[in-house]
Each structure stands twice: as C-alpha cells, then as structure tokens.
Amino acid sequence: MLAELESDRPFSGMVRLTSTELVERFLLWSETHHLSTSPAARALCGKLMQRLEIPSLGRCGRGTGKYYELPESDVLRQRFSMLLGETTETIFCFVK
C-alpha cells in the first residue's frame, strides 16, 4: 500500500479498484521484492481496506465482483498515516 501511496497517482489514478486488481498488485509487489506470498493475500488486502475505512462493494462472482470506491489520494494517504500512528507529512514528506 505504501508503494502505491508514494506514487503521484496511487492505483494509476483509478477511482474504482476491484479486489482482484488489489490482490494482484500486492502479489506482484511481493514477488518483485522477493517476499513470500501468503495464501491469505486476499484476506490481508481486504482487512487493510477495512481498516482504511474503505468498504467493499459488489459481490464475489457477480458482475465485476467485489470492488472498492477509492477516496481522493490525499484522504487515502491521511488514513494510511493515521493507521500507522504518524502524520501524513512524516510518511509522505515528498508527496505534494
């Protein structure tokens, strides 16, 4: 999540992110950084989004499946920082 939020356009500027896309991005990041990927990756991603107060919408196996309506980048960065017990400026000192 931190890697996405550090970019100028987190999640490529998408306003809607499917749970599948979120998990795929997490798994790709994990593999790129030579980290073992847990079979519980989907649950980890879902729990993080829940802690960031981003509700899942839709249903598995229906239409596009579960998805998240993403808030503005600044709001997402603020929630992530608060989750870590830090200020936005401390975590994202170079992001404007």
| Sequence spans of domains, the chain | 2-91
Contact 13, 32 (CB under 8 A): no
How many of the other CB atoms lie within 10 Å of CB of 17? 20
Q: Which helix (H) or strand (E) holds 85?
A: none
What does the chain come to in residues? 96
Provide the strand spans (E) within the chain: 16-18, 56-57, 67-69
Question: CA 43 to CA 49: how far, in whole Å?
Answer: 10
pLDDT value, residue 69: 92
Q: Which residues of the chain have a pLDDT value below 70? A: 94-96
pLDDT at 71: 93
Amino acid at 17: L
CATH of domain 2-91: 1.10.10
